Amino acid sequence: MNKKQKKMLTRIIIAFVLIAVLSVLPVDGYLEFALYMIPYLVIGYDILIKAFKGIRNKQVFDENFLMAVATIGAILLKDYKEGTAVMLFYQIGELFQSYAVGKSRRNITELMDIRPDYANIENDGKLEKVDPDEVEIGSIIVVQPGEKVPLDGVIVEGTTTLNTSALTGESLPRSAKPGDEIISGCINMTGVLKIRTTKEFDESTVSKILELIEESSSRKSRSENFISKFARYYTPAVCYGALALAVLPPIVNLVILHNPAMWSQWIYRALTFLVISCPCALVISIPLSFFAGIGGASNAGVLVKGSNYLETLSETKYVVFDKTGTLTKGVFEVAGVHHNTMEQSKILEYAALTESFSSHPISRSLKTAYGKEINQNRVTDVEEISGNGVTAKVDGTPVAVGNVKLMKRIGVEAVECHQVGTVIHVAIDGAYAGHILISDVPKPTSKDAIANLKKNGIKETVMLTGDIDRVAQQVAGELGVDRVYSELLPADKVSKVEELLAKKSEKEKLAFVGDGINDAPVLSRADIGIAMGAMGSDAAIEAADVVLMDDDPMKIVKAIRIAKKCMRIVYENIYFAIGIKVICLILGAVGIANMWVAIFADVGVMVLAVLNAIRTLFVKRL
């Protein structure tokens, strides 16, 4: 609890004790009135001040005005205990709501703590703390154990483990070594790192995350906008309705039916009507549900740019994926080594040594798969033949590594490979040794993500890629994607998404998931764009409506589940609050419900709705 909440709790306890004591004291008349005014003012003075300011500023009709009129009216009718109790329970509800909002806000403020306070620059052998905004691209910064990484960059010296939980929601630390890219906002846990910065602070990952969070509250959902408009018209309407209930029946009784007017009875019913009609449960719980939903999502490593996107995400029925970097790792890896006369490990060793002087992605994948330190002194007579491959001598033995053209060129018959991927043929000492299959492999969780999306109400999954159809069809089949479009240019992807948008119904939403700079136009065109954040380009993150802070496709499932849960709770609160209030308003108008029922209809319903709303904070692990 903060200082303000503790102060309110103290006031509630004092007022409650005073009411309890006065309930058993044998007092009446003016003394009773004077004594009850003490707890009433202790608990309600701020509500009375707000109501007075609202009247002065010509913004009369709000919950403060309703509470002031209802409680003052009850006191004037000599229902001192009920009038004071209404104010007490209203403040209990307000305290509860304040605590719930604070709990939701803490999830987001914990994420806001990723903003670094300083960056360490080495100057004459000493570390100097400077503002991250002052560090230029290409500077070398030092991050010590326990410190936040202040800027995006590449590790040039040191190994460590990184705590990325504030960014990705994952509790397991990640290892990092020289040459690895590192993003701001991580916490360095073990070793001392030297990092060459690649972005200024304003363009860094942590800065963009903070910007997204700050902007999220300004984008309201349809439900929030409806509740705001509803309250604007509803509150004046019930005030005029209460006035009519207090005045018209007594006049009809007196003038037309010639019965006693019974003013006090009808005024009491009107005051009860006012307490019941207070729209707190709706006005508080609906925005709180969305706020908690965004907070819970951010804690799970899913940044939603506004409650309107949370609402759209819950209505998603079609998910369209870019393939490379989204469903697949986006890097070449050795998928298999098929030998002819030599051991697999030996073929891989010869291929890695032969390709050791090349910086081609395929060469890097061969060296990574070999996994041992490469001694380039063993390699001589290296010749790179454009469009064919590389020839060299390894330990004096002639080796050729390349495609079928290279094998024909040196007079070696290559064995055909029927698997999908890039095939690298290897000939050693003039004889065919085997081939190595290299492919862009699917992410470990991609298949499970597709299956879980279908379990969560997604009608169809679609994959778009620039790859040849044979490769695309194999990946789609392996992952269980429903439909695939291959050999597409970036502009073709936009056209395909527009075709899919035209075919679906208006209530069904289409989400596109991508990570690259060429995905930005498609992310903007879809009903909702989802960007893979850790690898994703700045353009993709800027164009997207939802940003996943790591590259795990299962986060898409989590984001949709959070959105669906949030909207389910929003509608539960709307139906529950309105339903209870309508019933109690009718009972109050006919005299069945008294002020204590009114307190339940106002404070009780609000507390239950707020309790329901904060359920959106808690996200189950998949």
Per-residue pLDDT reduced to its tens digit, 444-479: 899 999 999 999 999 999 999 877 787 788 888 989
Q: Is the dihedral of CA 398, 403, 406, 407 positive or negative?
A: positive
What's the rounded mean pLDDT across residues 213-242?
68
Q: Last residue of a domain, which of 442, 467, 490?
A: 442
Describe the strand order of the beta sheet including 302-304 as a list of residue ranges.
302-304, 546-548, 528-532, 509-514, 316-322, 460-464, 483-485
- Integer Cα distance of 412 and 193 in angstroms: 49
Instruction: Write out pLDDT tens, residues 43-58.
Output: 989 989 988 888 888 7
Q: Percent of the chain scored above 70 by pLDDT?
A: 87
Instruction: Write out pLDDT tens, residues 489-514.
Output: 777 888 899 999 988 888 899 999 98
Beta carbons of 419 and 336 less than 8 angstroms apart: yes
Beta carbons of 249 and 266 less than 8 angstroms apart: yes
Instruction: Write out pLDDT tens, residues 319-376.
Output: 999 887 788 877 777 878 887 667 888 888 999 999 888 767 678 888 888 888 888 8
Residue 244: inside a domain: no
Beta carbons of 493 and 502 less than 8 angstroms apart: no
Report the 10 Å Cβ neighbour count for 21: 11
Nearest CA-CA partner of 560 in 300, 358, 374: 300
Element containing residue 162 per DSSP (H, E): strand 160-163
Are 471 and 514 in the same domain? yes
Q: Is the dihedral of CA 360, 364, 370, 376 positive or negative?
A: positive
User: Is residue 86 scored above 60 in pLDDT?
Assistant: yes
User: Is residue 8 scored above 70 in pLDDT?
Assistant: yes
Are 543 and 450 in the same domain? yes
Nearest CA-CA partner of 313 in 555, 519, 134, 515: 555
Write out 241-285 in H/E/C secondary structure.
HHHHHHHHHHHHHHHHCCCCCCHHHHHHHHHHHHHHHCCHHHHHH
Residue 198: inside a domain: no
Helix, strand, or coil here: 509?
strand
Q: Last residue of a domain, which of 414, 442, 470?
A: 442
How far does the chain reach from its first CA to its final CA, in angstroms? 32
Locate 226 and state its tokens: 């409806």
Are 309 and 402 in the same domain? no
Q: Last residue of a domain, which of 524, 540, 564?
A: 564
Nearest CA-CA partner of 146 in 194, 189, 182, 191: 189
CA atoms within a 13 Å half-sphere pointing along the CA-CB vector of 84:
27
Residue 560: inside a domain: yes
What would the DSSP string read from start to end of 175-217?
Answer: EE-TT-EE-TT-EE-SS-EEEEE-S-GGGSHHHHHHHHHHHHT
Locate 342 and state its tokens: 């030599």
What's the rounded mean pLDDT across residues 557-577?
89
DSSP state of 484: E
Report the 10 Å Cβ neighbour count for 411: 8
- Integer Cα distance of 402 and 404 in angstroms: 7
Which range, of 228-242, 463-477, 508-522, 530-544, averages the lowest pLDDT?
530-544
Residue 286: inside a domain: no
- Integer Cα distance of 539 and 527 in angstroms: 17
DSSP state of 4: H
Are 448 and 322 in the same domain? yes
Locate 550 and state its tokens: 């790591």
User: Residue for token digits 């707000």?
Assistant: 50
Are 379 and 447 in the same domain? no
User: Residue for token digits 């987001």?
Assistant: 108
What pLDDT, on a 0 to 100 scale, did the predictor assign at position 168?
A: 59
For residue 376, which phi and psi values (nearest 5 degrees)? -70, -10
Domain of 350, CATH number, reads 3.40.1110.10
Structural domain range at position 376: 329-442
Catalytic residue positions, numbered: 322
- Integer Cα distance of 404 and 34 in angstroms: 101
What's the rounded mean pLDDT across residues 21-31?
86
Are 480 and 466 in the same domain? yes
Report pTM.
Answer: 0.67
Instruction: Write out pLDDT tens, residues 364-413.
Output: 888 888 888 888 899 999 898 877 889 999 999 999 998 888 899 999 88
Residue 269: inside a domain: no
Residue 569: inside a domain: no
- Integer Cα distance of 249 and 261 in angstroms: 8
What's the rounded mean pLDDT across residues 54-70?
79
Are 366 and 451 in the same domain? no
Higher pLDDT, 526 or 487: 526
What pLDDT, on a 0 to 100 scale, did the predictor assign at position 385?
A: 85
Distances (CA, A) of 451 to 330, 478, 485: 21, 12, 20
Residue 153: inside a domain: no
Domain of 448, CATH number, reads 3.40.50.1000
Are 415 and 370 in the same domain? yes
What's the rounded mean pLDDT across residues 136-164?
88
Are 465 and 514 in the same domain? yes
Are 418 and 560 in the same domain? no
Beta carbons of 80 and 33 less than 8 angstroms apart: yes
Residue 260: inside a domain: no
Beta carbons of 27 and 47 less than 8 angstroms apart: no
What pLDDT, on a 0 to 100 scale, did the predictor assign at position 469?
A: 80
Are 535 and 463 in the same domain? yes
Tell me how many domains the chain contains: 2
Beta carbons of 378 and 394 less than 8 angstroms apart: yes
Are 435 and 499 in the same domain? no
